[in-house]
Amino acid sequence: MEPTLLGDLNESHCGYRSALSTRYASKEMQYLFSDQFKFSTWRKLWINLAIAEKELGLLITDDQIDEMKANVHTIDFKQAGEEEKLTRHDVMAHVHVFANQCPKAAPIIHLGATSCFVGDNTDLIIMKEGLNLLLPKLAVVIKNLAAFCEQYKSLPALGFTHLQPAQLTTVGKRASMWLYDLLMDERALRRAKEDLRFRGVKGTTGTQASFLKLFDGDSSKVKALDRHVAKLSGFEETYPVIGQTYTRKVDVETVSVLSSFGSTAHKMCSDIRLLANMKELEEPFEKSQIGSSAMPYKRNPMRSERCCALARHLITLSANTFNTHSVQWLERTLDDSANKRITLAEAFLTTDAILMVLSNITCGLVVYPKVIERRIAQELPFMSAENIIMEMVKKGADRQICHEKIRILSQEAGEQVKIHGKDNDFLIRVRNDPYFNLILPDLDNILDPKTYIGRAAEQVTEFLQEEVEPILNKYIISNEMCRVQLCI
């Protein structure tokens, strides 16, 4: 690169920008991880601390609190950056900037607190709000897919085990397996949110020593302060024991459930890609969409491919939280900070991005019954062998003799398919063999695909009623939410 050219370029395009913010994640999730939300939350926490300290008897005035409230969102980021260069400490930089804006409140801002009071508590607030954003989006995908399962619960389709043709299933039954994984993810995300507590006001090593001094040794007031600040901040409980930070096991649990969702999305979208290759199923494809720059006829499953790509990244993020938690020495070390800034944000933003794409996919899946029917016709002759044997036995035939007849005819038909590239003529051979005259009148019924799907349709109906509906009843989902349009 020629350095002299940099001056002629647009500076806004000369630095790294995450694709999560420029292409994939929603604006509301991006805002949650923005500097504005983060540092406004710090200021709200300082206000909550002051309110609770005042109510418990410390000399703090309403004027000081009102002054802070008036400046929650008016952050001078330039000045904060300059302060941080001097102090090499982000929290103290923002304390100084806030104090300059609130001269009356300056003496009591951050009173008794440590940096992790704002840092950790803000992370917990962000995680809670992030889960609040993700859960309804997950519910939309569940609702879309439930409607798909209901619509196609009775449509027979060739099943696959080991990616080899197996017994029949139905299109809706197959999709219900994706849906069950999503229900497990909903449960896990909901539990993760419910399990989140507040770090609270615990001091530098978690002993609350500074607050005990502020309240002249009154433990009851220190405990009340911890509870009150938590409630003002939207939490009912605080973690009972911590070091300087809440245990990073919390990050392990939270990011792990997001990574687990990543495996669900990857499995589901991989299946869609395989079915697209078979031309049985397609994701939505807009009229003006281009599948390939060189091959105009292509309808690539690009949304499912994007989900798989993002999901692989999401799955790997859980390892960061395990590694970080495992090396938090004694009361804490600071080698969690840089990692947390990246890992937590990317885990939530990536999950958000995947859910947006999945919502788009699931509201417009296209099924091709004739292709599915043709594939069944190619494989069903061999699958019908057991049913033919059973019907022959019912008519008085010897099971072992019939089995040998079927074995020979099926191998002959298989040779026609594999060696000569011809259609499967097994049933023609059966019809032409006088041995099977006993069942010829019943052969069409024996070959009806719907007689090979077992309880698939009933299973889907029961699953939707007993498992899916109770979950969806927890959410209010509008029709507009179910139709997500992707710009890129």
Task: Classify the C-alpha dihedral 290-292-296-301 as positive or negative.
Answer: negative
Tell me how far apart the alpha carbons of residues 328 and 74 are, in angstroms, rounded to a whole number.
Answer: 35
pLDDT of residue 487: 42
Per-residue burial over 158-173, b = 16 or more CB atoms within 10 Å of its CB, e = otherwise: bbbeeeebeebbbbbb
Task: Classify the C-alpha dihedral 395-399-404-410 as positive or negative.
Answer: positive
Angle of CA points 413, 414, 416, to nearest 5°: 65
Tell me how far apart the alpha carbons of residues 119 and 440 are, in angstroms, rounded to a whole number.
Answer: 77
Helix (H, G, I), strand (E, B) or coil at 156: strand
Short-list 466, 455, 366, CA closest to 169? 455
Q: Given a cut of 60, is residue 292 above it in pLDDT?
A: no
Tell me how far apart the alpha carbons of residues 170 and 159 are, in angstroms, rounded to a whole number.
Answer: 8
Confirm if 225 and 56 have CB atoms less than 8 A apart: yes
Q: Mind listing the pLDDT tens digit for each residue in 388-429?
A: 998 899 999 999 999 999 999 988 988 888 898 888 888 899
Q: What stretch of H or E contains 159? A: strand 156-161
Phi-psi region of 152 (alpha: psi -120 to 50; beta: other; left: phi over 0): alpha
Q: Given a cut of 50, is residue 354 above it in pLDDT?
A: yes
- pTM exceeds 0.75, yes or no: yes
Q: Given a cut of 80, is residue 380 above it in pLDDT?
A: yes
List active site positions: 162, 292
* Residue 160 DSSP code: E
Per-residue burial over 254-287, b = 16 or more CB atoms within 10 Å of its CB, e = otherwise: bbbbbbbbbebbbebbbbbbebbeeebbbbebee
Q: Given a cut of 60, is residue 2 above it in pLDDT?
A: no
What are the tokens at 129?
Answer: 């709000």
CB atoms within 10 A of CB 471: 18
Q: Given a cut of 60, is residue 290 above it in pLDDT?
A: no
Q: Given a cut of 60, is residue 488 above it in pLDDT?
A: no
* Residue 198 DSSP code: B
Residue that has been written with the tokens 């601390």 in this structure: 49
pLDDT of residue 483: 58
* Start-to-end CA span in the chain (Å): 29
What are the tokens at 299?
Answer: 């309808």
Average pLDDT over residues 262-290: 87
Confirm if 211 and 201 have CB atoms less than 8 A apart: yes
Report how far Cα 264 is from the mean position of its chain's Cα atoms: 8
Cβ neighbours of residue 420 closer than 8 Å, sequence gap 6 or more: none
Q: What stretch of H or E contains 54? A: helix 35-55
Q: Given a cut of 50, is residue 293 above it in pLDDT?
A: no
Highest mean pLDDT, choosing among 285-299, 325-339, 459-473? 459-473
Confirm if 317 and 259 have CB atoms less than 8 A apart: yes
Residue 469: how many CA atoms within 13 Å on its side-chain side? Answer: 8
Range name among 78-82, 143-147, 271-275 with the lowest pLDDT average: 78-82
The CA–CA distances, whole Å, from 145 to 179, 268, 409 equal 7, 11, 42
Q: Mind listing the pLDDT tens digit for each residue in 205-224?
A: 999 999 999 999 999 999 99
* Mean pLDDT over the full length of the chain: 91
Q: Given a cut of 70, is residue 111 above it in pLDDT?
A: yes
Write the DSSP assignment of 273-328 as a string of letters: HHHHHTTSEE----TT--S-SS-TT----HHHHHHHHHHHHHHHHHHHHHHHHHT-
Q: What stretch of H or E contains 394? A: helix 385-394
Average pLDDT over residues 72-95: 91
DSSP bridge pairs for 226: none
Q: Mind listing the pLDDT tens digit for each residue in 145-187?
A: 999 999 999 999 999 999 998 889 999 999 999 999 999 999 9
Range name among 22-31, 134-143, 258-267 with the lowest pLDDT average: 22-31
Q: Identify the band that residue 3 occupies on the pLDDT scale cut at 50, 70 and 90.
A: low
158 φ, ψ (degrees, to nearest 5)? -70, 125
What are the tokens at 365?
Answer: 């899946």
